[in-house]
Amino acid sequence: MAIVDKSGSRVKRMFGQIAPKYDRMNHLLSMNVDRYWRWRTVRRVPPSGTDPILDVCTGTGDLALAYCRRTRGEVEVVGADFCPQMLEVGEQKKLRSRHAGRLRLVEADTQELPFESDYFQIVSVAFGLRNVQDTDRGLAEMVRVCRSGGRVAVLEFSEPTWQPFKACYGWYFRNVLPRLGQWIARNDEDAYNYLPESVGQFPSGTALLDRMSQAGLQEVRLHRLTFGVATLYVGVK
């Protein structure tokens, strides 16, 4: 199997092209279950106190906005992404949210975060870590900017283990989703074939927990969602 191209230039172009339809495609292709996964993340890793929260690879800001709603706008939330077109969509959503007054969207690469060390109470990422060219470097930066006792949360696609759901979902994920996605959100980078390819080559389960431990996190745990279609990984610094 060829190694999927996750170069920064390719990933930035790809998400720049699909940015206008990104949210609509997420909700359509997941049948709105992606909203539930973010809701579960915010409740499984809730804020405590007034220290700021960081969401990396924030895209259009869905998880960052979920944390804004959870804190009712009383805690600073920062969403960082290196794709300006995605952030532009996020800025439009920010204007429509009544709890986003303290949300700040920043153009930044997760591999080189422009924040001081030991600063955020929560550092989260939703469906973005597998797009970072160097997974370990991205994790290391997330851990660096997280305060002592804070938590790092990684929400990511995974492969179900329960049959017959595993076979049915696998067929949909590899055959229907790419064609439907490419038809609706046409792009030059084959974004919706990239999705199953990148998920298949990304470490999941205990393999990702091991990477998180190596990055300096403790008490690493995983929580499978929707029969294992997505998994939430949490560690404490």
The pLDDT value given to residue 201: 92
The pLDDT value given to residue 189: 56
Give the global pTM: 0.94
**pLDDT tens, position by position, 151-174:** 999 999 998 888 888 888 888 878
Q: Is residue 62 part of a domain?
A: yes
Domain with 105 in it: 8-236
Q: Is residue 188 part of a domain?
A: yes
The pLDDT value given to residue 161: 82
Q: Using CA atoms, how far apart are residues 151 and 56, in angstroms rounded to an integer?
A: 13
- Return mean pLDDT, the chain: 92
Q: Is residue 3 part of a domain?
A: no
Q: Is residue 37 part of a domain?
A: yes
Backbone angles phi, psi at 34, to 5 degrees: -60, -30
Cβ neighbors of 99 (< 8 A, separation 6 or more) are 65, 68, 69, 71, 72, 73
Of the chain, the percentage scoring pLDDT greater than 90 comes to 75
CATH of residue 199's domain is 3.40.50.150
Q: Is residue 92 part of a domain?
A: yes
Instruction: With cut-offs at 50, 70 and 90, classify the pLDDT of residue 2.
Output: confident
Q: Is residue 151 part of a domain?
A: yes
The pLDDT value given to residue 187: 64
Q: Into how many domains does the chain fold? A: 1
Q: Is the pLDDT of residue 57 over 60?
A: yes
Q: Which of 53-62, 184-193, 221-230 has the lowest mean pLDDT?
A: 184-193
Q: Which of 90, 88, 147 is nearest to 117 (CA)?
A: 147
Q: Is residue 43 part of a domain?
A: yes
Q: Is residue 150 part of a domain?
A: yes
